[in-house]
Structure 1
Amino acid sequence: MNLFELLAEPLGYTFMVRALAVTVIAAILCAVLSCWLVLIGWSLMGDAVSHAVLPGVVLAYIVGAPFALGALVFGFLAVALIGGVRDTSRLKEDAAIGIVFTTLFSFGLVLISVTPSHLDLNHIIFGNLLGVSAADLWQVIILGAVTFLILILKRKDFTLYAFDSTHAHALGMNPRMIGAVLLGLLAMTSVVALQAVGVILVVAMLIIPGASAYLLTNSFGKMLVISPALAALAGIIGVYVSYYLDASTGGMVVLSQGAIFVLIYLFSPRQGLVAHRFAVRRRRKNLQHAG
Structure 2
Amino acid sequence: MDWLLDPLSYDFMRDALMAGILIGILCPVVGTYLIVQRMALLGDVVAHALLPGLAIAHFLGIPLLLGAFGFGMLGTFMTSWIRSQSRIQVDTAMAITFSSFFALGITLLSVLQSQLALDALLFGDILSTTLADVGQIGLITLAVLAAVRLFYKELLFFTFDVLGAEAVGLPVGVINLGLMAAITLTIIAGMKTVGVILVIALMVTPAATAYLLVKELHWMMVLGAGLGALGSLTGIYISYYANLPSGPAIALTVFSLFLLTLLFSPSQGILTRLYLGWRQG
TM-score using structure 1 length: 0.92
Deviation at 1:211? 0.4
Query: Could you tell which deviates more after superposition, 117-126 or 194-203?
Result: 117-126
Map of 1:200 onto structure 2: 197
In the alignment, which residue of structure 1 is the partner of 2:65? 68
**Alignment map for 1:73-112 (pairs within 5 Å):** 73-112=70-109
Query: Aligned residue for 1:249?
Result: 246
Partner of 1:133: 130
Please point out which of 246, 257, 265 is paired with 1:268: 265
In 2, Cα distance between the equivalents of 1:72 and 1:15?
Answer: 27
1:52 equivalenced with 2:41 (yes/no): no
**Contact (CA 8 Å) 1:22, 1:195: kept in 2 or not?**
no
Q: Is the 8 A contact 2:19 2:134 kept in 1?
A: yes
Query: For residue 9 of structure 2, what is the aligned residue in structure 1?
Result: 12
Aligned mates of 2:128, 2:57 — CA distance in 1 = 18
Q: Which residue of 1 aligns with 2:33?
A: 36
Go from structure 1 to structure 2 and tell me whether the alpha carbon gap of 1:119 and 1:91 turns closer, same or farther (over 3 Å shift).
closer
CA distance in 2, matches of 1:275, 1:46: 31
In the TM superposition, what is the alpha-carbon distance from 1:172 to its structure 2 partner?
2.0
The residue number in structure 2 matching 1:209 is: 206
Q: Percent identity?
A: 34
Distance 2:94 2:69 in 1: 17
**Equivalent residue in structure 2 for 1:234, among 231, 235, 240:** 231
Please, which runs of 5 or more residues in structure 2 have no aligned partner? none
Deviation at 1:166, TM superposition (A): 2.3
CA distance in 2, matches of 1:44, 1:96: 10
Per-residue CA deviations over 1:100-138 (Å, capped at 9, x if unaligned) read 111111111122234435552331111121222232222
Give the total of aligned pairs: 281
> Which residue is equivalent to 1:258?
255
Cα distance, 1:60 vs structure 2: 1.3
Q: CA deviation at 1:143?
A: 1.7
1:171 shift after superposition: 2.4
Alpha-carbon distance change, 92 to 162 in structure 1, aligned in 2, over 3 angstroms: same
Corresponding residue for residue 282 of structure 1 = 279
Q: Which amino acid aligns with 2:170?
A: M
Greater C-alpha radius of gyration = 1
For residues 23 and 58 of structure 1, the distance between their equivalents in structure 2, rounded to whole angstroms, comes to: 25
Task: Work out whether residues 57 and 66 of structure 2, in 8 Å CA contact, stay in contact via their aligned partners in 1.
Answer: yes
Residue 219 of structure 1: how far off its partner (Å): 2.0
> Shift in Å at residue 281 of structure 1?
2.1
Match of 1:170 among 156, 163, 167: 167
- Identify the residue that residue 148 of structure 1 maps to in structure 2: 145
**SS, match of residue 244 in structure 2:** coil
Structure 1 ranges of 4+ moved more than 4 A: none
Task: Write the distance in 1 (CA, Å) between the matches of 2:26 and 2:8.
Answer: 23
My pick for the range that moved more, 240-249 or 157-166, is: 157-166
Normalised by the length of structure 2, the TM-score is 0.95
Structural RMSD (CA): 1.4
Q: What is the deviation of 1:156?
A: 1.5
Question: What is the distance in 2 between the residues matched to 1:201 and 1:23?
Answer: 13
Counterpart secondary structure, 1:136: helix
